[in-house]
Amino acid sequence: MLVVMSQGCSPDCGERVISALAAAGRRAERIALADRAAVRADGPFDVALAEVVGRLPGVALVLPASRPMRHVLRREGRGATTVRLGRHTIGDGGFTIVAGPCAVEDEAGLERVARAVAEAGADVLRGGAFKPRASPYDFQGLGRPALPLLARVGAAVGLPVVTEALDAASLDEVSRHAHMVQIGARNMDNSALLKHAGRAGIPVLLKRGMAATLEDLLLAAEYVLEEGNPHVVLCERGIRTFSDHSRYTLDLGIVPVLKRVSHLPVIVDPSHASGAREVVPALARAALAAGADGVMVEVHPDPLHALSDGRQSLTPEEFRVLASDLRALEPLLARHREPVT
Ligand code: PEP
Ligand code: MN
């Protein structure tokens, strides 16, 4: 259990938390987050105990994180992490827009969509080469040949490139061609791949698994950082719930919590969360308002004929409107996104 204290609360408040945990038989230790104190207690999350502790004076938040985390939590005197991709920086207080097709299908289509998103104001080009699909009979991506295409088209339109790796071999290939590797929701708890990404040193876009808790996500990032790679961006992409109106449920509530407890940048993927084009712009605007450092949106020149995820892909024109709305809203909401130091 991680008990996050309010900013500026007195040391007595922390002592009271430690005593309450000790009375419940929990060993607890004080840790310093960037802008406030916190107390970490060993043992499983206990709702009743969290309720008791949550009511003590000076307690801001009780989180179900119990395992030690050496790298991902905010630390006093250490600013927020920024992740540099070519000339673009994620997490510096600006709002990053990542856009592009679900999968690279052919060079001409990729070029069309890349030019359109670059002109509309995207910062990073996405496009899958290795696709993790639900069915082995679905389009699996072009694989290796897509990587030089992405690199060439990204350079031509002046955007850095992010693309997914599914295993260590594809991660090595991606490292040679892209600015950032994506570890997808289905691989978030693949510790071998996380360690490999940590050793490779390439910036990592780590997507939250569809059934991953906040602690699961932070511990996955911890694997990469523990190997010496601090360049990690977290991505909320929707989780499984009982909701039946949408592909997944976008958990925007995790954004301000992640921003408070971790120094890593956080972006949101409204495309895979909703699975529906008409819902994507509203969720993207909401992500900006929730304090995310950016969004990742799928765009396809001809969504009806896309080989994957056409139903959720914006047309270039729809993306142009969204990007312009986001850029207009950005200054209004900037103070909620400033890195906490
Ligand atoms: C993707 O971004 O291409 C993707 C497959 O996303 P996720 O891992 O979130 O399903
Ligand atoms: Mn997709």
pLDDT in tens, 69-86: 889 988 767 789 999 999
Please, which residues have CB less than 5 A from ligand 2, an ion?
A: 102, 309
* Ligand 1 atom 6: residue of nearest CA: 184
Both structure tokens of 150: 């992405």
Q: Which atom of ligand 1 is nearest to the CA of 132?
A: 5
Predicted local distance difference test score (pLDDT) of residue 265? 97
Predicted local distance difference test score (pLDDT) of residue 300? 98
Q: How far apart are CA 215 and CA 204, in angstroms?
A: 18
Instruction: Give Cβ neighbours of residue 277 (< 8 Å, ≥ 6 apart).
Output: 303, 311, 312, 313, 314, 318
Measured in whole angstroms, the distance separating CA 164 from the mean position of its chain's CA atoms is 14
DSSP, collapsed to helix, strand or coil, labels residue 211 as coil
Q: pTM surpassing 0.75? A: yes
Predicted local distance difference test score (pLDDT) of residue 338? 57
Extract the residue ranges of the chain whose pLDDT is less than 70.
76, 337-341
Question: Of 243, 225, 244, which is closest to residue 234 (Cα–Cα)?
Answer: 225
Question: Of 82, 62, 68, 58, which is closest to residue 31 (Cα–Cα)?
Answer: 68
Predicted local distance difference test score (pLDDT) of residue 75? 74
Q: Are strands 88-90 and 83-85 parallel, antiparallel or unpaired?
A: antiparallel
| CA 272–ligand 1 middle distance (angstroms) | 6
Q: How far apart are CA 202 and CA 195, in angstroms?
A: 12
Question: Of 84, 1, 66, which is closest to residue 265 (Cα–Cα)?
Answer: 84
- Who lines ligand 1 at CB under 6 A? 102, 128, 132, 164, 184-186, 207, 237, 269, 272
Amino acid type, 168: A
**Under 8 Å between Cβ of 297 and 319:** yes
**Under 8 Å between Cβ of 122 and 97:** yes
| CA 315–ligand 2 middle distance (angstroms) | 14
Both structure tokens of 248: 């997944």
